[in-house]
Structures are given as C-alpha cells and as structure tokens.
Amino acid sequence: DNYSLLNESLNQHNGFYFQIENGFDDDGFWHEGSIAYQNYTLNAMSISIEAAKYFGVNLANYSWQTSSGKSIKLSKPFTSHLNLVKPDGTFPRLNDDIRGLDLASVLPLLEFTNSYWPNTIPSHIMNKAREVNQEYSIKLLLWSKPLNNNSEQIGSVNYEMFGVSIIRHNDTYVLIDYGSHGGWHGHYDKLNVEITLNDSNLFLDPGTVEYSLPSSSEWYRNSFAHSIPFIDNRNQPETTGKMMNYDFSSNMSFVIAQYTDDIVKTNVTRLVLVLSTPQYGDIVFDAS
C-alpha cells in the first residue's frame, strides 16, 4: 500500500511513462527491433499496469504523442507484433532473440491484453494460442477472460517506422527487414528475407544464442548468418534501410527496399515479388 513507490515507478526519469513515450515507434514497436525484447518489455509493463490499477490509477486508456507527433494508445504495442506471426504460430527471430517465441509462450500476455482491451486480438490467434499451450501460470489463470468474437484476419502489412514488411499470399509468408539497426541488440541484416510455406521455413533468421557465447557476436549478429545481398563478401556496415515501393493484392504482391553502403558509396536494392500462377501456384521472385 505504498503509493510513493508507484509514483516513483511511473514518474521517475526512466519510469513507465518515459519508457513508453520514448521506447515505441509510431507502429507500436519497441525501438530495438526485436520481438523478443518487445515481449520482455510488455511483460514488465503489464505488472506496472496491474499495480497502478490496484491504486486506482487506470492506464488502459492512456495515450501519448510520438516524436513525429502521432497519437498512439497504450493498447497498440500489445497487439502490433501479432501481425508478424508466421503460419506455424512462431514469431520471426529479428535481431537479438535467444529462445524464440511462439503463440503459446506469449499466451499470458495475450490474456492480459484481452482482459484490458477486449476485441483487439483476432479470435483465430487467441484460439490457436490456447490450443497449443501446455502449461498454466498464475498470471495466465488470473488474466484469462471470455473471448469476444473478432473475425479479423491478419494480412500483408508494411511497418515503415519499424522497417519490416510481411507478404501473406495463400500459404506463402515472406518477410523483408529493412529497418534501423536496433542499438546493442541489432544485427547487420538489412534486407534480410525470411520465407515460410505453410508450416515449412525455407529461409529463417537464426536470432542469437546466449550472450556469454562468442558466437553471439561473431556469427549470429553477422551478415553471413542472414539471407541478404552481399558486397565484396563482407559484413554490412551498421545502417538503416528504407522502403522504396510496395503493393499487396490477391494476384501479386511485392516489396522493394534499399540501404546505402557508405563504405563503397553504393545503394543496395532488393525486390521480393510473390505471384500467383495457375500452373505452379505461388512463385517467389527475388532480385537484388
């Protein structure tokens, strides 16, 4: 019952309000470009939100202005990353991600989100997470609430601030990562591509391993651990890419992204196009 501790937690120089107002972009993604660290952050935030609720401070409807002047609601970071989930229920291991995440591992957070912001999570995602879950934590049991019907389906999406595009085309899932480096947890992986066909991963980001292992920095953060274009067979510089053009439709979807290699003063551009054909089904074209 110590309100001063809650006040310190929310209002100190690096407290709750500071973290959400400076840590998330316009798309609702954590600045390090990692779904694992997004999940880590949201779990900490959920405890703060619960503690504040106990003291009569309702944070559920809290909103703020991002650095670009866009108004964002607190619920957005809790749902934005769900648009990246793969057909097999796993999340892409962007930047530092040691263990990997799937819908079952984030179910307590999904239940928390559903309890505070009903009808924000598509029903098929919540139902799949509940079906594959094998263990029940105290948080999961406390936060579980009946699910409202939300028939929304996740589709292709471009998150320009986050720097990731997802093409969903029938059973084909293609991700291209062109965003900012991500600070200490970033990888040299601009224009990295992941491709999943139904439940089969053809091109996969390996994430990373425990930081105590030398291979964490010597291999997993390296360009060579990713599916990218290379110049002179060397590691990329630390850089931020940009979206050049994209279009999503039922017959054809494409993404064109680019980064600049300042060492050799060269622009590197990658086109990934998914085309439906009557004879061969979906075909993925990849040109750099």
Overall average pLDDT of the 158-184 stretch: 94
SS (H, E, C) 29-84: CECCCCHHHHHHHHHHHHHHHHHHHHCCCCCCCCEEECCCCCEEECCHHHCHHHHH
The pairing of strands 252-261 and 164-169 is unpaired
- Give residue-wise pLDDT tens across range 109-142: 999 999 999 989 999 999 999 999 888 888 888 9
| pLDDT for res 135 | 84
Q: Which tokens hold the place of 20? A: 């959400």
Q: How many helices (H) and strands (E) does the chain have?
A: 7, 11
Which of 157, 154, 155 has the alpha carbon at shortest distance from 246? 157
Q: Please check whether residue 77 is in contact with residue 40, taking contact to mean a CB–CB distance below 8 angstroms.
A: no
pTM of the model: 0.92
- Give residue-wise pLDDT tens across range 248-270: 998 999 999 999 999 899 999 99
